[in-house]
Amino acid sequence: MGKLSKRVAIVGAGMSQFGRLYPLKRNPDLWVDAWIDAVKSVDNGIEPKDVDACYVGNYSSDLFNHQGHLGPQMANLVGLTPKPASRFEGACASSGIALRQAIIAVASGIHDVIAVAGVECMNELPTSLVTDALATASDALFEYPAGATFPGLYATVATAHFHKYGTTSEDLMRIGIKNHENGVENPFAQMQRSIAQMMQRKLKKLEEQGKELPDWKDEFDYLKSASNPMIAYPLRLFDCSLVTDGAACVFIAAEEVAKNYTDTPIWIAGTGQGSAALSIHDRDDLTGFIATREAARQAYEMSGYGPKDIQIAELHDCFTIAELVALEDLGFYEKGKAAQAVKEGETKRDGARPINTSGGLKSKGHPVGATGAAQAVEIFKQMRGRAERNRQVKFEVERALTHNLGGSGATCVVTIYEK
């Protein structure tokens, strides 16, 4: 693996509202909302004439919306026709890949500025068919026909981790609680409500109905109750991310032009991508993902940084177990040690290394093909000190990381950012 031949920066980034927005919003609407938000974030302004190409990350508008060929459609909506416009797919890492390919393309010299899009409108399908559509990112010959959809596949990873390292359901619950607490502070998030708030709401409702009140001492009791049903042991409802409609937009620029757009560009320090067999039965180890380890290795090597240098990160918490595993695969903690660190609050917004200040996929939402780009939006805001409400971290962020995972870990893109 070589080095990029020139430096590349993010000069603007924004997103649409995330939520259950269909049919009021479809891919075209979501994307235009994200584009406008990103344009507003560019300090000195940006116009379609400044943008050389449109790189669209999307998992499956084919299955969700019966519309393929999103590249030229998205480009046309924001005035980029007849410039190059392509779609990039790697399951839930689709816009992580689009971001990476844009970084590579700008470094190659062929383009100076690229608009990276992440879009997915999942609620056009009923939820049962969403699970089916997502399952096509697993092995459609050996996993999916056997009844394994993603909650089941990640549950297998969780039980393996429980078995090998003594991890518990409470360890996973802490991750969900933290991410919801962050989501409260994100006006773009789908669920701007903490687990504690949801518990209180449930208690109030029961009281109003004159029902006997459960003996819940804290959120953990609530999360262990029937109010948080088991989906696939040990993963309960609140261990799973959301079905979301949303889009994000990131402007990538070459070093020669970046300063035209802002005095505070966020530089790409490293990019890495790894892959694995689609089916988890083809893997040597179920307690971690080889694709993450490979992507991290490349990104660290390119940047010259190591895990200790990373101050904040957005990790792909499609399920709570995925965040735990990522903390270990990325080298933030040794294998089997992340749960204790989470317990000690290290990954909280005021902890040693805040993780998923955006609320993560768990609370902000997970429009699968938009997630990678949306992670970059949060990092861009945090590194420029402009995160909304009360979620801006209290220190100057010099180096950050995003981790975007596809399928049950068959694709991973890791990006490292610096000031």
Can you give the length of the chain in residues? 419
Which of 348, 309, 1, 336 lies closest to 178, judged by CA?
348
- 92 has catalytic annotation: yes
- Among residues 42 and 91, whose Cβ is nearest to a copy of itself? 91
At residue 231, the 3 state secondary structure works out as strand
| CA dihedral sign of residues 221, 19, 152, 282 | negative
CB 358, min distance to a copy of itself, A: 24
Query: Six-digit token pair at 266?
Result: 């966020």
Instruction: Answer yes or no: are the C-beta atoms of 121 and 367 closer than 8 Å.
Output: yes
Residue with tokens 């116009």: 47
- Among residues 358 and 411, whose Cβ is nearest to a copy of itself? 411
CB 4, min distance to a copy of itself, A: 6
- Give dist(CA 101, CA 31) in Å, integer: 19
- Give dist(CA 330, CA 356) in Å, integer: 14
- Give dist(CA 300, CA 289) in Å, integer: 17
CB 283, min distance to a copy of itself, A: 10
Q: Which residues pair with 336 in a beta bridge?
A: none
Measured in Å, how far apart are the chain's first and last C-alpha atoms?
Answer: 24
- Among residues 2 and 210, whose Cβ is nearest to a copy of itself? 2
Instruction: Answer yes or no: are the C-beta atoms of 408 and 288 closer than 8 Å.
Output: no
At residue 8, the 3 state secondary structure works out as strand
CB 231, min distance to a copy of itself, A: 22
Residue with tokens 């998992």: 59
CB 136, min distance to a copy of itself, A: 4
CB 206, min distance to a copy of itself, A: 42
Name the burial class of residue 34, with classes exposed (0-12), middle (13-18) and buried (19+) by CB atoms within 10 angstroms of its CB. Answer: buried
Burial state string for 381-409 with b = 16 or more CB within 10 A and e = fewer than 16:
bbbbeebeeebbbeeebebbbbbbbbbbb
Where does this chain bind a copy of itself (CB under 8 A)?
Answer: 1-6, 52-54, 59-60, 62-63, 65-73, 75-76, 80-91, 97, 101, 104-105, 107-112, 133, 136-141, 144, 271, 273-278, 282, 290-291, 293-294, 406-407, 410-411
CB 187, min distance to a copy of itself, A: 30
- Give dist(CA 4, CA 271) in Å, integer: 9
Residue with tokens 């773009």: 188
- 66 has catalytic annotation: no
- Give dist(CA 112, CA 106) in Å, integer: 6
CB 275, min distance to a copy of itself, A: 4
- Among residues 1 and 226, whose Cβ is nearest to a copy of itself? 1
Q: Which of 92, 121, 318, 412 is catalytic?
A: 92
- Among residues 234 and 407, whose Cβ is nearest to a copy of itself? 407
Query: Six-digit token pair at 120?
Result: 């997915």
Q: Which of 111, 161, 316, 366 is catalytic?
A: 366
- Among residues 282 and 388, whose Cβ is nearest to a copy of itself? 282
- Among residues 80 and 249, whose Cβ is nearest to a copy of itself? 80
- Among residues 66 and 308, whose Cβ is nearest to a copy of itself? 66
The alpha-carbon radius of gyration of the chain (Å, integer) is 20
- Give me the active site residues, please: 92, 366
